[in-house]
Structure formats: structure tokens, C-alpha cells
Amino acid sequence: MGAGVIGAGWVVQFLSRGLTVSAFDPAPTARERLSAQVEAAAEVVTALGGDLTGWESRLTVADTVQQAVDRADFVQENGPESAPSKAALLKELDDAAPPGVVIASSTSSLQPSTLADMCERHPERVLVGHPFNPVHLIPLVEVVGGVRTDPRLVDHAMSFYASVGKKPVRLRAELPGHLANRLQAALWREAYSLVERGVASVADIDTAIAHGPGLRWALLGPLVNQHLSGGQGGLAHVLEHLGPPTQVLMDDLGAPQLTPQLAELLVRGVNEELADCDQDDLIRQRDSLLVQLLTAKKEVRTNGPL
């Protein structure tokens, strides 16, 4: 449901894994836009092991919500990120989708219990399935059930996402921003503070992450990396010896407010950093490197967290 940037990414992902997809978007150009996005993603999807052969015969753009989901096995909702819009769309989905079929929302801000309250018939099948953009490149999906969500359907969603090539994680509580956005916000918070205080430029902060810990974070998460830095003693050794100074650092982190003045500083800094860059070319280079990284990780995958 919904064929914007996120919805189109899901369509590409599902088609590349051999599924038959029925989409609905009220825009009159939805079919043409979706087709163009599938074709544009074909090269990277193929490089990642997906297969879009015959996708044209497996994609339907329905005229109504009812037509799109009345025979669905799984519903991925990607409507506008506003409660009134979600409420209207979810009511239609709840009325039209077969009983027992998961309705997963790509929302980055609304909680599953809030979404479930919008579905009078079957609130137990509503959950969050939040991807990261570009959806057909970044494997992560955050799965969050609400207080009324059937745990068996959360299990089903986890299995479904894994079966279409995603890397799902299951949250055990409802929180604003779910999981990864909260971790990003923690980093942004200190980055904004450092810019506001004149400690470092925007470019220096980006360089510090992209050419420092970000390289390791792309391979293993921050806690496993911290564990590995402790040698034979692992995380226990790190926390024993570096825990106190780390606490001092955490206590000293900034608490900036996103005032217009700070926003201007950040935007000006990014513009200066990218002054000599073609942004479209930068995105293509980023996506090409992402494909190479994901391919390399797949080739060396073990039973561990790589």
C-alpha cells in the first residue's frame, strides 16, 4: 500500500524474491513510476542475488485498496506518515484483507498499539515492519508488536521478512523511533552539539565516522566491536578498565536544541562539504559500494554476527 520511495523499495524487494505483488497508490502515474523504479534497481538487485525475471507479469497496480489486498498473504502498508492518513488507510485494509493476514506498517514514528486501535475488526494482526532506505539495499527491518498484537503473527512477520532476504530484528517494547533511529539520534545529538560549540566542522564529523568507527560498524555492531577491542578479556575487561572514563564521556555529552540558528549551521556545513560534489553521482557511488560491501559480507558469512 503506497508506492512512494519506501513503498517502491518494498515492491522491488518482493519482486526480486519471486513474489507476486499487488500495489495500490492513488496517484495516476503510480504504474509508470513503479515500473521505472523497478527497472532502475534491476542492476543492483541482480548483483545482490535477486531475480527480477518476468517481474512485469508479477506486478499489479490495483484501482482500489480492496482489489489490492482481498487475496493477499501479507500486507505492507506505506502510506503518508500522519495519524489521520494512517487511520483512513488502515481501516480500509482491516476491512479488506483476509482474516489472519498480517498488516505491517513501514511507519518510523507511530507505535503499533496506536495503529492497532485504528483497526476495529482485527487489531491483533497489526504490527510495525520498519525498513531502512533504500529498502531494496539495506537489509534491516524492525519488527514491533503492540499490546494487542498476536505474538504468533509477530513470529510470522519475522519469518516472512527473513524469507525475502531481509534482516529482521524484534523489539520487545514500543518506543518512539523504534531501535535504529534512536541509535542514530544519539550520534546526531552529539554531532549537532559539537557543531554548535564550534568543536568540529560538519565535514570533520563525517570524516571521523566514515573513516573511523563507521568502517567497523558496517561489519559488526558497536557492542561486539567493543567486545573485540578488549582482547581475551572481551567486553568485561573493557568495562572494568574503561567503564569509569566512558561514564565521564557519557555524562559530558551535549544536549543541543535544534534552533533555527543550529539548523542553519548544520545545513551550511553540509553544503560546504558537498560543494564540489554531484549529489546524484554521490548517491550512485554510495549504492555501488553498498552492493560491494553486502556481497562481500555474504561471501564470508559465518554463524556469527557478520
- Domain-ending residue, one of 171, 204, 231: 171
Are residues 211 and 141 part of one domain? Answer: no
246's CB contacts (< 8 A; 6+ apart) are 239
Residue 306 lies in a domain: no
Do 132 and 31 lie in one domain? The reply is yes
Question: Considering 145, 171, 197, which residue would you say is the last residue of a domain?
Answer: 171
Contact of 170 with 140, CB cutoff 8 Å: no
pLDDT at residue number 2: 65
Residue 303's pLDDT is 66
For residues 31 and 159, membership in a common domain is answered with yes
Q: What pLDDT, on the 0 to 100 scale, is given for residue 210?
A: 96
In this structure, are 93 and 240 located in the same domain?
no
CATH code at position 220: 1.10.1040.10
21 and 94 fall within a common domain? yes
How many domains would you assign to the chain?
2
Distance CA 34, CA 60 (A): 10
* pLDDT of res. 302: 63
> Which residue, among 34, 44, 4, 38, has the nearest Cα to 285 in the 3D structure?
44
Domain boundary among 133, 153, 171: 171
Low-confidence ranges of the chain (pLDDT < 50): none
In terms of domains, do 25 and 119 share one? yes
- Rounded Cα distance, 4 and 135, in Å: 12
Q: Are residues 256 and 213 part of one domain?
A: yes
Query: Is 302 part of any domain?
Result: no
Q: How far apart are CA 159 and CA 119, in angstroms?
A: 23
Query: Do residues 127 and 193 both lie within one domain?
Result: no
One domain for residues 83 and 221: no
Within-domain flag for 283: no
Domain assignment of residue 101, yes or no: yes
Closest CA to 97 of 18, 56, 55, 153: 153
Strands 126-131 and 103-105: parallel
Structural domain includes residue 304: no
List the CATH number of the domain containing 53. 3.40.50.720
Please indicate, yes or no, whether residues 200 and 103 belong to a single structural domain of this protein. no
What is the dihedral sign for C-alpha 106, 111, 117, 121?
positive
pLDDT of residue 1: 62
Q: Is residue 213 part of a domain?
A: yes
In a domain, 193, yes or no: yes
pLDDT for 29: 85
Same domain, 10 and 126: yes
Residue 213's domain comprises 180-275
Whether 46 is covered by a domain: the verdict is: yes
Output the pLDDT for position 27.
82
Name residues whose C-beta falls within 8 Å of residue 304's C-beta, 6 or more positions apart in sequence. none
* 208 & 85 share domain: no
